[in-house]
């Protein structure tokens, strides 16, 4: 049995061209069933290619320069983009939603990342981009999904179940009580994907980071420990993010008298 | 509390016209006011403004001398309770909703005793109905359950939006008796209706589209 000794096999442009044929399956389905997803698919594929090549290039230089400020700047930039993407995924938007999305991503990510790096991992140099950037990226990516799901769910529920909320207000509920079941629903929706992932990890799915470490030549036992750390970190940050997002959204969408605002 | 302290006062409300030709309304304990107007004239909206639930507050509406917008909203809506014309049917049974309302933070210490609750359920023929899912209720059943829900908050002012529409003669009589009994206990009533029925001991106000 061959062991990975000197890192993984190099992938050249030809290999990437070959693997891009896989996406042709999506294109074929889209054409056959007239899903009209060809355009989006093409753009998404190109974005994958360009964005990853770009970050590879950036990281190459970040590793070379090794400045803590640069690492923090990159993480902040990634957070702002994540906030933007969260808003982009929401079907109903209103003024101020960008603050809620960005804040709900930024705060838990900052807290959780600080805890993971300073308390748990304690690398020789905290600003070592090899820790902060990949872990930060994973936290941001998962928070983005969780928070956009939670916010979308809660916003839609506020519109669809408006009469129910109104009826409870009329019966003496405080605004928070009147939307309590909607709040629970929103937070639960945000926490569900991570819970599902934690249920099948290792059995059905081998996550990217672990695969990467193993490919990179790390012993599987260590790769697994890092993965456990990541899973719990993601569980915490997505939950905290969903909670902040929904509670913040609640106070933005309901005025102190319990009347719905911003949405019509 | 003296008997001449009005529970609810309205001054300066566009489109509201009272027996003295102006829009000034004073509602004391045990008194009743009937509000009429064409559909779409803003009768329900007037009621919603009385509990500060309308997004555009209009007019000087006061409960016991304090502007409704200055009273904590849950407290206001418990003491001045609005029963809408078409109450929402919640998931679950009527009993579950009744219990949920009793458990709300601001209501816990103020709701009517269980014996009173039971007597209203009995009088309105609801003892079996409340164990069924609300989504299966007829219009009349839903309305009667909504009335019990409003009554159990022991409100000082009861705002009723077409409370007897869709009820048969006999049930209408029962509702009228319950309301009369509440009034005898000091509850003031605002009764919104489009019909021409007479309520001899109530002042009549008219709402015209502003």
CATH of the domain at B183: 3.40.50.300
Q: What is the Cα–Cα distance from B76 to B73, expressed in whole angstroms?
A: 5
A195-232: b (≥16 Cβ within 10 Å) or e? eebeeebeeeeebebbeebbeeebeeeebbebbeebbe
Model's pTM, two decimal places? Answer: 0.86
Contact B35, B207 (CB under 8 A): yes
Q: What is the Cα–Cα distance from A242 to A147, expressed in whole angstroms?
A: 5
pLDDT score at A1:
44
pLDDT score at A212:
86
Nearest to A152 by CA among A109, A189, A102: A189
Q: Which residues pair with B190 in a beta bridge?
A: B33, B159
Could you list the residue range(s) of the whole structural domain that residue B94 is in?
A: 8-207
Average pLDDT by consecutive 10-residue portion of chain B (210 residues)? Answer: 75 85 88 89 92 89 94 96 94 96 95 96 96 95 95 97 86 92 95 74 81
Contact B53, A166 (CB under 8 A): yes
pLDDT score at B4:
64
Nearest to A91 by CA among A143, A148, A144, A36: A148
* B1 inside domain: no
* B2 inside domain: no
Q: What is the Cα–Cα distance from B102 to B108, expressed in whole angstroms?
A: 6
CB of B87 within 8 Å of a chain A CB? The answer is yes
Angle between the B169-184 and B114-123 helix axes, to the nearest 10 degrees?
A: 150
What are residue B66's phi and psi, to 5 degrees?
A: -105, 135
3-state secondary structure B161-184: ECCCCCCCHHHHHHHHHHHHHHHH
Q: Given an 8 Å threshold on Cβ–Cβ distance, is A171 in contact with B51?
A: no
How much of chain B is in helix, strand and coil states, percent to nearest 5? 35, 20, 45
**Token pair in block for residue B134:** 């609300």
CB-facing half-sphere around the CA of B174: CA atoms within 13 A: 15
CB of B58 within 8 Å of a chain A CB? The answer is no
In angstroms, the separation between the Cα of residue B21 and the nearest Cα of chain A is: 31
Domain count, chain B: 1
CB of B82 within 8 Å of a chain A CB? The answer is yes
Q: Which residues pair with B66 in a beta bridge?
A: B63
Contact A62, A70 (CB under 8 A): yes
**Parallel/antiparallel/unpaired status of strands B8-11 and B60-63:** antiparallel
In angstroms, the separation between the Cα of residue B82 and the nearest Cα of chain A is: 6
- Residue entry with tokens 């599902």: A196
Q: What is the Cα–Cα distance from B146 to B137, expressed in whole angstroms?
A: 11
Sequence length of chain A is 264
Contact A111, A136 (CB under 8 A): no
- Residue entry with tokens 């804040």: A103
Task: Name, in order, each residue with C-beta under 8 angstroms of A171's C-beta and a sequence gap of 6 or more.
Answer: B77, B78, B81, B101, B104, B107, B149, B150, B153
Q: What is the Cα–Cα distance from B33 to B47, expressed in whole angstroms?
A: 12
Exposed, middle or buried: residue B17 (CB in 10 Å: 0-12, 13-18, 19+)? middle
CB of A177 within 8 Å of a chain B CB? The answer is yes
Mutate which of A165, A172, A176, A184 to disrupt the B interface (most B C-beta within 10 Å)?
Answer: A172
CB of A263 within 8 Å of a chain B CB? The answer is no
Q: What is the Cα–Cα distance from A133 to A129, expressed in whole angstroms?
A: 5
Q: What is the Cα–Cα distance from A127 to A137, expressed in whole angstroms?
A: 15
Listed as ranges, residues in chain A with pLDDT below 50 are: 1-2
**Parallel/antiparallel/unpaired status of strands B16-17 and B203-207:** antiparallel
Q: Given an 8 Å threshold on Cβ–Cβ distance, is A174 in contact with B52?
A: no
Instruction: Return the DSSP state at B194.
Output: S
């Amino acid at each position: 049995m061959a062991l990975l000794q000197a890192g993984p096999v190099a992938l050249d442009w030809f290999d990437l061209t070959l693997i891009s044929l896989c996406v042709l399956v999506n294109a074929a389905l889209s054409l056959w069933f007239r899903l009209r997803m060809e355009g989006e698919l093409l753009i998404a594929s190109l974005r994958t290619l360009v964005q990853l090549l770009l970050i590879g290039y950036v990281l190459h230089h970040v590793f070379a320069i090794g400045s803590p400020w640069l690492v923090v700047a990159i993480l902040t930039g990634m957070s702002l983009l994540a906030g933007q993407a969260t808003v982009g995924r929401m079907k109903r938007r209103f003024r101020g939603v960008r603050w809620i999305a960005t804040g709900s991503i930024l705060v838990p990510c900052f807290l959780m990342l600080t805890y993971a790096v300073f308390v748990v991992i304690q690398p020789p140099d905290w600003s070592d981009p090899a820790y902060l950037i990949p872990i930060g990226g994973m936290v941001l990516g998962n928070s983005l999904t969780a928070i956009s799901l939670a916010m979308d769910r809660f916003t839609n529920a506020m519109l669809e179940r408006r009469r129910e909320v109104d009826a409870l207000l009329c019966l003496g509920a405080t605004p928070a009580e009147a939307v309590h079941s909607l709040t629970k629903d929103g937070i639960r929706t945000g926490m569900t994907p991570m819970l599902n992932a934690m249920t099948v990890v290792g059995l059905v799915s081998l996550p990217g980071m672990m695969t990467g470490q193993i490919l990179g030549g790390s012993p599987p036992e260590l790769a697994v420990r890092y993965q456990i750390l990541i899973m719990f970190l993601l569980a915490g940050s997505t939950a905290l993010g969903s909670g902040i997002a929904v509670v913040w959204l609640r106070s933005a969408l309901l005025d102190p008298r319990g009347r719905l605002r911003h949405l019509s | 509390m003296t008997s001449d302290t009005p529970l609810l006062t309205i001054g300066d409300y566009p489109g509201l016209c009272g027996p003295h030709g102006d829009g000034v309304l004073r509602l004391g304990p045990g008194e009743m006011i009937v509000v009429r107007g064409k559909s779409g004239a803003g009768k329900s909206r007037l009621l919603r403004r009385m509990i500060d639930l309308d997004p555009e507050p209009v007019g000087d509406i006061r409960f016991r001398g304090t502007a409704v917008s200055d009273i904590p909203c849950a407290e206001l809506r418990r003491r001045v309770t609005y029963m809408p014309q078409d109450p929402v049917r919640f998931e679950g049974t009527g009993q579950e909703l009744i219990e949920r309302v009793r458990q709300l933070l601001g209501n816990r210490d103020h709701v009517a005793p269980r014996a009173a609750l039971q007597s209203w359920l009995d009088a309105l023929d609801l003892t079996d109905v409340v164990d069924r899912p609300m989504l299966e209720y007829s219009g009349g059943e839903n309305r009667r359950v909504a009335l019990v829900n409003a009554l159990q908050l022991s409100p000082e002012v009861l705002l009723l939006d077409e409370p007897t529409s869709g009820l048969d003669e006999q049930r209408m009589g029962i509702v009228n008796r319950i309301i009369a009994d509440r009034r005898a206990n000091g509850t003031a009533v605002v009764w919104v209706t489009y019909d021409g029925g007479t309520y001899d001991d109530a002042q009549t106000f008219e709402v015209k589209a502003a």
